[in-house]
Each structure stands twice: as structure tokens, then as C-alpha cells.
Structure 1
Amino acid sequence: MSMIGEYFRVTVAELERSMEDPDWAFDYIDEIRDVEEEAEPSPAMARHFSTYQTWHLLDFLLKRSGFPVDVIHGEEVFEKADDWGYGPPRYLTTDRVRFGAEALSGLTYDQLLDEVDPAELNTAEVYPLIWEDQASLEWARDWFAGLTEYFKAAAREGHAVIIWLD
């Protein structure tokens, strides 16, 4: 079983409804996710996005760089939600999404990898523990680009983002 980083962008009204009725949100997200899996929209067009198993590497790299927004786990917890996989979902407000998108836009994957040694990742037990050499760090490059594109689109649309590990 894998741990997958999941994202879903919502309007302010959808976020408010989701906080009051997380079961509605779970079903709504599942419905949209099924439709998008067939259509395969780009991260800029998608409501649902996933960093798959790269979430922990990206989290490690972003924290190491002093990134100002928790775009990997979210910052606010859904108080009324049950476990959606590995804990309850979290979210970023529209303001935090905008701030995160701006910060992501000013950062490259090469900057994140600057002076990173794969041994650091193994010592920190960064999931999924595949860090053999510098080439293994390239695995998340496209996911980081997609995450940046996704957040820029969410910010442009004035969306909040729901985040969870599944």
C-alpha cells in the first residue's frame, strides 16, 4: 500500500460546505476525481491533483528551503472530518493558496535540490526510501512542476485547496 499526496481545489462556498459536511466533500471529490481520471486534464485545468508518492520528498525539500506555506499537508484541519486515508483532510485558504502559488513560482526544482545529499533523505527516513544517488532525486521534478502549475491555477481562480494523504 502506498501513501499518496492528494489535492482538490474548491470555491470558498465549497470549502465552507466541506468543513460543515466532510462526508459530502469526500463524495463530491470522489465523483470529480473519477471524471478527471478519464479526461486527464493538465494540472492547470484539473480540480484534482496528486503528487503520488513524491509528497514526502517534496515536503522535505520545501521545509529545508524554508518554504513559507505548507503546500504538502495543508495548514488548517477539518475539525469534523474522519480519516480520509492517513488522517483527516487539511486545507489552505484562498489567501494561503495565493501566497503559496507566488512562492512556488519563484522557486525551481534545481534550487530545491541544491546541495541535497541522498544520504540526508535516508537518514530522515523520507518516504518511500529509494534514495540511492543524485539521479533518484530527479523522480519528483515533474510532480513539482505540476504542483506549481496546479497552485497557480487555483490562485488565479480564487480557489482554496483541500489536501490529504491517501
Structure 2
Amino acid sequence: MSMIGNLFRVTKAELEEYLNDSSMLKDWLYGENEELDYLNPDDIDKAWDGILFLLTGDGISEINHPLTKVLFSGQLIDENQDLGYGPAHYLTPEQVVDLNKQIAEITVDDLKLKFDPEKMTELGIYPEIWAEGDDAFDYLADNFLVVQKMYAEAAKNGEGMITYLN
């Protein structure tokens, strides 16, 4: 099975609703929802752990770096709710603004300097495709640009962020 990273923007009111009743989140994501496009959901495929490595020098197994919060805040909607591979994480609109400022300054060239296929393989960074070299880096860079875009839009609109793996 694949572990796909997902991000979506939410208003402050929507976030509060999900925090008060997490079943609403699961229903929204997995129910027959004709308005799902409203969420502006995006996925970063299997690139999430590789992106974390480029941002922090580690993968999901080491979540102490502040930039880990870009994908896994440690703030859970409902720790008992499984959306595929665990619960959803969230960020408030204020936290999104702060993280957006930090990641907006990161360029693809900055990421390239941190790309280390040997270390990524040694650490077991998912999805373990690092022997593919430049193609693997391009995959990560393209998906990081998706993350940057999502954060920029959320910050501009005063929205929070929900992330999860499925």
C-alpha cells in the first residue's frame, strides 16, 4: 500500500467544527461530498517523507525540527481517528502564516543542496526511490512547490491547514 500525503485549507470556523466533532471531518473526506473541490485539497503523493528530509535532515521518525510542522504539526484533530494512516494534524491560521513565512523563502536550489540519496536510503526515507537521483529530486521539488502554494493560499486567505496520510 502507498502512503499519500494530503493537505487542505480550512477556515477557522471549519477547523473548530472538526475539533469539536471529528466525525464531521471523516464524513467530509470520505462521504459522498459533491463540494469537496471547495476544500482545495491537494496531495503530495508519496513525497511527504522526502520533503521532510529536505527541510529537516530527517524523516518522519524524527519530528523535533520546527519545519516538521509543515506536514505533521503534532496537533491532532482526534488522536483516535484513523484517516488511513493515523489521525489528521492541524494548524491554526496564525500558525500557517508563521510557517508560510519560513517555507516561502526556500528555493528549489536550497532543497537540492540538502538532497542526499545515500543518507535518505540509509535512513529509510519513504518511498525509498533515492537511487533514481535527479528524477527522485525533481519528484520531491515538484511536490514541495505544491506545499508552498497551499501554504501561500492559506496564509493569504487567513485559513488553517489540515494534513493527513491515507
Which aligned pairs between 1:95-110 and structure 2 lie closer than 5 A?
95-110=94-109
Match of 2:56 among 63, 67, 73: 63
Counterparts of 1:128-139 in structure 2, within 5 Å, are 128-135=127-134, 136-139=136-139
Counterpart amino acid of residue 75 in structure 1: G
SS of structure 2 residue aligned to 1:88: coil
| Structure 1 runs not aligned, ≥5 long | 37-44
For 1:148, the equivalent position in structure 2 comes to: 148
Give the superposed CA RMSD: 2.2
Q: Does 1:116 align with 2:115?
A: yes
**1:28 matched residue in structure 2:** 28
| Residue 33 (structure 1) shift | 8.1
Distance 1:142 1:2, change over 3 A: same
Q: Determine if contact 2:5/2:165 at 8 Å carries over to the other structure.
A: yes
What's the secondary structure of 2:95's corresponding residue? Answer: helix
- Listed one character per residue, the Cα deviations across residues 118-166 of structure 1 (whole Å, up to 9, x for unaligned) are 1010001011111115312221111111110110000111111111111
Deviation at 1:113, TM superposition (A): 2.1
Q: State the alpha-carbon separation in 2 of the partners of residues 26 and 117 from structure 1.
A: 37
Cα separation, 1, equivalents of 2:34 and 2:160: 17
Separation of aligned partners in 2, 1:24 and 1:128: 31
TM-score by length of 1: 0.85
TM-score between the two structures when normalised by the length of structure 2 = 0.85
Query: SS at 1:163's partner residue?
Result: strand
Report matched runs for 1:29-108 at 5 Å: 29-30=29-30, 35-36=36-37, 47-64=40-57, 68=67, 70-79=69-78, 81-108=80-107
How many residue pairs end up in the alignment? 158
Partner of 1:152: helix, strand, or coil?
helix
The corresponding residue for 1:40 is none
Distance 1:127 1:80, change over 3 A: closer
User: 2:61 — aligned with what?
Assistant: none
Q: Residues 91 and 35 of structure 1: is their aligned pair in 2 closer, same or farther, counting only changes over 3 Å?
A: closer
